[in-house]
Amino acid sequence: MSTVVLDHITKHYDQGKVLAVNDVSLQVGAGELFGLIGPDGAGKTSLFRILTTLLLPDKGQASVLGYDCVKDYRQIRNRIGYMPGKFSLYQDLTVKENLDFFATLFGSSINENYALIKDIYEQIKPFNDRRAGKLSGGMKQKLALCCALIHKPEVLFLDEPTTGVDVVSRKEFWQMLKNLKQQGITILVSTPYMDEAVLCEKIALIQGGNILSVDTPDGIRSKFPVPLYAIRSDNIYQLLTALRKEPGVDSSYAFGESIHITLNEQQTNMAAIQQSMVAKGHTQLSMEQIQPGIEDSFIRLMNQAQPAIAWQRK
């Protein structure tokens, strides 16, 4: 039995004018660290709010720990921890007061589940008497995680926990999630950062309210159907414009310092492309076949899905 089940969930906003979630079905197993990866506006937060009983779906069923998200919301609220994307603790209460407050709301206390939050709480303990509004971004996020964990939830929902946090804190945060997973907590985390996807056990790529693919990060990468090449020159911008005009090139996009391309037909080979580029005056060309990353997969899936989504929007 899966811990979190989404069954054909659809949600509209503004009386049906805006489609936020489109017929999403998804399952998260017990003890999994599951990532919901997608750009802003993909529908991640809507899904989270449905699962945390804050939002009613228009169609479909959702359940957490076997409890229905609409009917058994009370049981769910006792058993989950939710950390909204926006910092939503009381800024005018101190660190300790916030923790105390949320512990009390769940009929618990800081001491009762101290073991669970110990590693995280130790880091913010020196600021116990500082108001939450005066904490730095990373500290706020740690406090929010503590507050979401204080009642020992069985499922943890983290909505974009690392948005707006520095690289070091992000790394630390993911380490914390791994530790929590060790304790048997099922974790659902959403993020717009592709580089965080590989840190999850399983990921779902989501775009425009549609799930594009659900798999392990390796699974998603290995499903990339065609060879992927990275190409560089001393003038990336001109090279990109030229590649986009090249008939043999299927897709091309700038990726860091190089351009990732896939080819149209199998018979076109990279040598031909390279010759063509050299003929057009591009210098210092280098080219190699590379392993596709999550982002490459995502971009490919997104481009394939785009016409379909556009059609559904009508």
Residue 93 C-beta: closest distance to other proteins, Å: 7
Please report whether residue 104 would count as binding other proteins according to CB under 8 A: yes
Sign of the dihedral defined by the CA atoms of residues 134, 140, 144, 147, in that order: negative
Of 34 and 102, which has the nearer Cβ to other proteins?
A: 102
Please report whether residue 106 would count as binding other proteins according to CB under 8 A: yes
Please report whether residue 19 would count as binding other proteins according to CB under 8 A: no
Please report whether residue 16 would count as binding other proteins according to CB under 8 A: no
Residue 127 C-beta: closest distance to other proteins, Å: 17
Please report whether residue 110 would count as binding other proteins according to CB under 8 A: no
Of 106 and 253, which has the nearer Cβ to other proteins?
A: 106
Residue 228 C-beta: closest distance to other proteins, Å: 41
CA-based nearest residue to 90, from 127, 163, 54, 143:
143
Q: How far apart are CA 64 and CA 168, in angstroms?
A: 32
Beta-bridge partners for 305:
none
* Residue from 21, 147, 249, 301 binding other proteins (CB under 8 A): 147
- Got the DSSP string for 105-147? HTT--TTTTHHHHHHHHHHHGGGTTSBGGGS-HHHHHHHHHHH
* Residue from 52, 186, 207, 210 binding other proteins (CB under 8 A): 52
User: What are the angstrom distances between the C-alpha of 156 and each of 24, 55, 261, 270?
Assistant: 20, 17, 38, 47
Please report whether residue 193 would count as binding other proteins according to CB under 8 A: no
Using CB under 8 A as the binding rule, the residues of this chain from 59 to 78 that contact other proteins are: 73-74, 77-78
Q: How far apart are CA 140 and CA 88, in angstroms?
A: 10
Q: How buried is residue 152: exposed, middle or buried, by Cβ count under 10 Å (0-12/13-18/19+)?
A: middle
Of 87 and 193, which has the nearer Cβ to other proteins?
A: 87
Pairing of strands 155-159, 80-83: parallel
Please report whether residue 97 would count as binding other proteins according to CB under 8 A: yes
Please report whether residue 86 would count as binding other proteins according to CB under 8 A: yes
Please report whether residue 128 would count as binding other proteins according to CB under 8 A: no
Please report whether residue 255 would count as binding other proteins according to CB under 8 A: no
* Residue from 16, 107, 184, 281 binding other proteins (CB under 8 A): 107
Strands (E), 170-290: 186-191, 202-207, 210-215, 228-232, 249-255, 258-263, 286-290
Please report whether residue 56 would count as binding other proteins according to CB under 8 A: yes
Burial 221-247 (b: 16+ CB within 10 A, else e): beebeeebbbbbbeeeeebbebbeebe
Please report whether residue 278 would count as binding other proteins according to CB under 8 A: no
Please report whether residue 253 would count as binding other proteins according to CB under 8 A: no
* Residue from 43, 84, 209, 217 binding other proteins (CB under 8 A): 84
Residues that bind other proteins (CB under 8 A): 52-56, 73-74, 77-78, 80, 82, 84, 86-93, 97, 100-102, 104-107, 147
